[in-house]
């Protein structure tokens, strides 16, 4: 399957992606995308029958520990080094103004 990427296809993808590409970028990306498609076509020629799909090339296992109920940190201990607090809460500076909608 030989499918070349042409300038019109790159323009179409750029339009769908809401990208405003220059003439130079359109030419550059046309060549780069054509090279990517050509490489994928080469990969499709590989015989992969009997090869299991992998998420990692090494045997990686999650190292989750079992959940165990433990006593929580006391409020006073948690807030002992807080630079500012209000009652039993950390007080932090406002980062959003009233017009942010958050």
Domains of the chain: 7-44 (1.10.20)
Q: What pLDDT score was predicted for residue 51?
A: 87
| Better-predicted residue by pLDDT, 102 or 97 | 97
Q: What is the structure's pLDDT at 100?
A: 67
pLDDT at 2 over 60: no
pLDDT of residue 38: 92
DSSP E strands: which ranges in 1-102?
A: 85-86, 89-90
- For the stretch 70-98, pLDDT in tens is 999 999 999 999 999 999 999 998 888 77
Question: Would the pLDDT of 1 be above 50?
Answer: no
Angle 36-41-44 from CA coordinates, rounded to 5°: 130
| SS3 label, residue 79 | coil
């Amino acid at each position: 399957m030989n499918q070349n990427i042409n300038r019109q296809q790159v323009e179409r993808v750029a339009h769908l992606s809401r990208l405003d590409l220059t003439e130079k970028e359109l030419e550059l990306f046309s060549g780069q995308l054509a090279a990517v498609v050509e490489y994928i076509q080469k990969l499709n020629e590989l015989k992969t029958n009997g090869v299991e799909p992998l998420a990692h090339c090494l045997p990686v296992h999650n190292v989750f520990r079992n959940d165990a109920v433990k006593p929580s940190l006391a409020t006073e201990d948690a807030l002992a080094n807080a630079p500012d607090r209000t009652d039993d809460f950390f007080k932090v500076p406002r980062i959003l103004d009233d017009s942010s909608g958050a």
